Structure 1
Amino acid sequence: MSPPPRDLLTAHTDAHYCEGRARLEPGCGFFRPESRPSRDLGVLLAASLAARGPLRVLDAMAGCGIRALRYGLEGGAEAVWANDADPDRLPLLERNLAGLKGLRCSARTAQHLLAECLQRQERFELVDLDGFGCPTALLPLALEAVAFDGVLYLASTDGRSPTGHDRPAAIRLLGAAARAHPASWELALRLQLGTVARAAWAMGRGVEPLFSFSEGRTFRTAVRLRRRAGRGEEQQLGLLAHCHGCGAQEVQPLLRLRQWQPCLCPASQAQPLAISGPLWIGPLQDPALLAVMASLGDTLPGSLGAAGARLLGQLAADPGVPPVCWPTAEIARRLSCGPPPLAALVAALQAEGWVALASGVMPAQLRSDAPWSVILQIAQRLAATAAGAAK
């Protein structure tokens, strides 16, 4: 994968930047201090892997080296290979990482680096692929570089194709249909996970998503690679349908694909269901691992910033199933009054026996297995009760 275009590179005038235990020169390159939460979670993920045994890290697109440096200083890595495609940045990378144990630095394209790892049969417990654009072309080689029970920490900055804004590109890059959807960030993450799963299954391997999140600009997933697919794992690949007329959603696994139930709203007669997929319809988060990461954050002072701690808490509270979400804004649009508070709607749905959660992926979104009509009825009731109490 090529480095970002020069017009997207940002010059940093500060001599040094500090984050966690890392102190380094950002240099002149693409670097976002605002991405610290993703680096914090990567460090805690690395620390959880290091607690199980020796940790070797491959940072295939290291930039200035901040992730690689933190993996070595805070994540417990005994060996770190930091690579960046721009040879002009190699002196900066070597300078920033000087003194890190088990260090290798290189300046190769990610394709060449990963192909070299395959040729040498060299694998890593953590492969960090923080690319620019869509990383699909690198997935087969990247997965070959992950040790069994190791983790691929993958990022994509392609926001148009997986959110339904460039449907032909979604077909080319993801091998999937992507339609406009109210939970667009989650749709993008599920399409990305589906692509990873298909690539791993083609190799005879299995996958286990550990955590997935986005701020709307970059889509990040951490996936554990298993020696073989788990029982019923293929049922986690499916299709997601959305009626733009009334807002109803349906989901089906590909293994049990049947005719879609017709939406009964009047608008559906003129506008068919918008179907996206194949995509991952299983869990997005592993709450047990996130709990371990949170506890590690308490033992690694400075490794988890305030924004990272909030993100970790949000993800831990929402495993990501069922795979359907609605924004409270859409609920408000379909009621004669404003929507009830999200927490009250979640509690009311749970009281009636439905699964209901606040989404950890996108703010102000409800995740539930309740039919859309039931969600609207309960929301209407709660809103009417609140309006009556206010009189």
Structure 2
Amino acid sequence: MAADGTLLTSTDHHYREGLAEFSLGPGFFRPESRPARDLSVLLARHQKARATQPLRWLDLMAGCGIRALRWGLEALGSDAAETELWINDGDPDRLPLIQSNVQALGCSTRLSAEAADLLLYRSILQRQRFDFIDLDAFGASGSLIQPVLQALRFEGLLFLASTDGRSPTGHDRVGAIRSLGAAARVHPASWEMALRQQIGLVARQAWLLGHGVQPLFSFSEGRTFRLALRLLRQIPAGDEKKLGLVARCERCGAQRVQPLLKLSGWPACHCLEGQGRWSISGPLWIGPLQEEPLLQQLIADAQDLGLQQISPVTLRLLRRLQADPGDCPTVWPTDELASRLGGGGPPALGRLVQALHAEGYRASASGVMPAQVRTDAELPQLLQICTSLRGEGI
């Protein structure tokens, strides 16, 4: 990246990341997306360590081939037998660059330059299933979700990215209806709402096939929204209750959640004399966002690999996600809480979480957006606890 923050585009620029040294070639490249690439390596390494059959991994939109190169060097290492890396990019002019970058890998590689949907549908017809698909898409990736799920083996992993932030965050409501089949409204926890909208879409597409999905981790930096999920052969009992609606009153800040399966009338918010009005988003995923045991294992793996391979930023991200399962979709920014108390500084987030626990509520610092508290406490009780902390000078 240049000093002014622009993307690296030099045709002869060489770059090192993890154990990989390669040429970027023409086109774009974002060094700040390294945490996503680190996590892709960790997921692949985790799967390889537990594999009992030959594996096939697909980098569907490869760019310069950095993900597949790091898979081969860091996830497989010397144990590359019986693992095939399929590396695809829709631009055939990039194939020589990709081939040059990955030629030293000791595992089986297959390079292609096909439109993503054609590759997936051909793989489905030829029954060539993948154990891991990394889909780092531009814009919305909704049109590819159905073929991606059909091309995955059961228990296979999907690492999905979308750069469409306007639709799922409520800034393009028509776009959300078209791409997500859902109503998206502006919300203070906008990144989380976007992730839940997208998990909900993937879950509905999997259910159409009679299969389930298990979210493994979900995160965003506000530009790109990333999900890791496992495809399950069967829909887990009760998962239908994890699809629902989230409502928020713009006036008083109250929030409510209802599963679609038990949808009924919305109760009154906390405004006086019926002055409030619910702003409703969904259907979206209202279940957990993170799989804590997996994240704990990925943290251990990252520590084993060391900072040469996994960046400190990635390790901090993993720890933040591991500490917040995302099991409750009602989230409040601490700045909003301070504002509703009439100004003054926001409550200390860690102390607020402790105080909520002491009162018997679920609570955690949001791992998705900074300075936000996740809790099942109602807003009046939450504000009361904030007032008590303020009185204690905390």
TM-score by length of 1: 0.94
Query: Among residues 216, 225, 231, which one is paired with 2:231 in the alignment?
Result: 225
Amino acid of the structure 2 residue aligned with 1:277: G
Closer/same/farther in 2, CA of residues 14 and 344 from structure 1, 3 Å limit: farther
Query: Among residues 23, 36, 43, which one is paired with 2:34 in the alignment?
Result: 36
Which residue does the alignment assign to 1:263? 269
Residues 245, 268 of structure 1: 8 Å contact kept: no
Deviates more, 1:213-222 or 1:294-303: 294-303
Q: Which protein has greater RCO, CA pairs closer than 8 Å, 6+ apart?
A: 1
Which residue does the alignment assign to 1:73? 73
Which residue does the alignment assign to 1:3? none
CA RMSD across the alignment: 1.5
Query: Among residues 93, 98, 101, which one is paired with 1:96 in the alignment?
Result: 101
Q: Distance in 2 between matches of 1:344 and 1:42?
A: 34
Closer/same/farther in 2, CA of residues 9 and 313 from structure 1, 3 Å limit: closer
Please report how far the alpha carbon of residue 111 of structure 1 lies from its aligned counterpart in structure 2 after TM superposition.
1.0
Which residue does the alignment assign to 1:319? 325
Closer/same/farther in 2, CA of residues 268 and 194 from structure 1, 3 Å limit: farther
Query: Among residues 331, 334, 351, which one is paired with 2:358 in the alignment?
Result: 351
Please report how far the alpha carbon of residue 384 of structure 1 lies from its aligned counterpart in structure 2 after TM superposition.
2.3
Which residue does the alignment assign to 1:64? 64
SS in 1 for 2:43: helix
Matches within 5 A, 1:120-139: 120-139=126-145
Residues 146, 206 of structure 2: 8 Å contact kept: yes
Which residue does the alignment assign to 2:249? 243
Amino acid of the structure 1 residue aligned with 2:17: E
Matches within 5 A, 1:283-302: 283-301=288-306, 302=308
Q: Does 1:213 align with 2:219?
A: yes
Which residue does the alignment assign to 2:198? 192
The runs of 4+ residues in structure 1 deviating greater than 6 Å are none
Structure 2 segments unaligned to the other structure (5+ residues): 1-5
Q: Distance in 2 between matches of 1:213 and 1:268?
A: 36
Please report how far the alpha carbon of residue 193 of structure 1 lies from its aligned counterpart in structure 2 after TM superposition.
0.2
Q: Distance in 2 between matches of 1:365 and 1:9?
A: 31
Query: Among residues 202, 210, 213, which one is paired with 1:204 in the alignment?
Result: 210
Please report how far the alpha carbon of residue 90 of structure 1 lies from its aligned counterpart in structure 2 after TM superposition.
1.0
Amino acid of the structure 2 residue aligned with 1:300: L
SS in 1 for 2:280: strand
Query: Among residues 43, 47, 50, which one is paired with 1:49 in the alignment?
Result: 47
Amino acid of the structure 1 residue aligned with 2:170: G
Residues 146, 225 of structure 1: 8 Å contact kept: yes
SS in 1 for 2:320: helix
Query: Among residues 285, 302, 324, which one is paired with 1:280 in the alignment?
Result: 285
Q: Distance in 1 between matches of 2:66 and 2:254?
A: 44
Q: Distance in 2 between matches of 1:221 and 1:358?
A: 20
Which residue does the alignment assign to 2:3? none
TM-score by length of 2: 0.94
Amino acid of the structure 2 residue aligned with 1:47: R
Q: Deviations over 1:202-251 (max 9, x none)?
A: 00101100000000000000010000101111111000001110111000
Please report how far the alpha carbon of residue 264 of structure 1 lies from its aligned counterpart in structure 2 after TM superposition.
3.1
Q: Distance in 2 between matches of 1:313 and 1:169?
A: 34
Q: Does 1:180 align with 2:186?
A: yes
Residues 7, 30 of structure 2: 8 Å contact kept: no
Amino acid of the structure 1 residue aligned with 2:360: G
Which residue does the alignment assign to 2:151? 145
Q: Distance in 2 between matches of 1:314 and 1:215?
A: 13
Please report how far the alpha carbon of residue 99 of structure 1 lies from its aligned counterpart in structure 2 after TM superposition.
2.5
Structure 1 segments unaligned to the other structure (5+ residues): 1-7
Please report how far the alpha carbon of residue 294 of structure 1 lies from its aligned counterpart in structure 2 after TM superposition.
1.2
Q: Deviations over 1:241-292 (max 9, x none)?
A: 01110111000111111111111304962x5200000000001000100111
Please report how far the alpha carbon of residue 333 of structure 1 lies from its aligned counterpart in structure 2 after TM superposition.
1.0
SS in 2 for 1:345: helix
Q: Does 1:363 align with 2:370?
A: yes
Q: Deviations over 1:290-328 (max 9, x none)?
A: 111111112223221100000000000000011111111
Q: Deviations over 1:328-347 (max 9, x none)?
A: 11111111222211111111
Please report how far the alpha carbon of residue 47 of structure 1 lies from its aligned counterpart in structure 2 after TM superposition.
0.8
Q: Distance in 2 between matches of 1:267 and 1:282?
A: 33
Q: Deviations over 1:94-145 (max 9, x none)?
A: 1111122110111111111111111111111100110000000001101111
Amino acid of the structure 1 residue aligned with 2:356: L
Deviates more, 1:299-308 or 1:223-232: 299-308
Residues 359, 367 of structure 1: 8 Å contact kept: yes
Please report how far the alpha carbon of residue 55 of structure 1 lies from its aligned counterpart in structure 2 after TM superposition.
3.0
SS in 2 for 1:74: helix
Q: Distance in 1 between matches of 2:102 and 2:175?
A: 37
Residues 137, 161 of structure 2: 8 Å contact kept: yes
Amino acid of the structure 1 residue aligned with 2:284: L
Q: Distance in 2 between matches of 1:138 and 1:27?
A: 27
SS in 2 for 1:162: coil
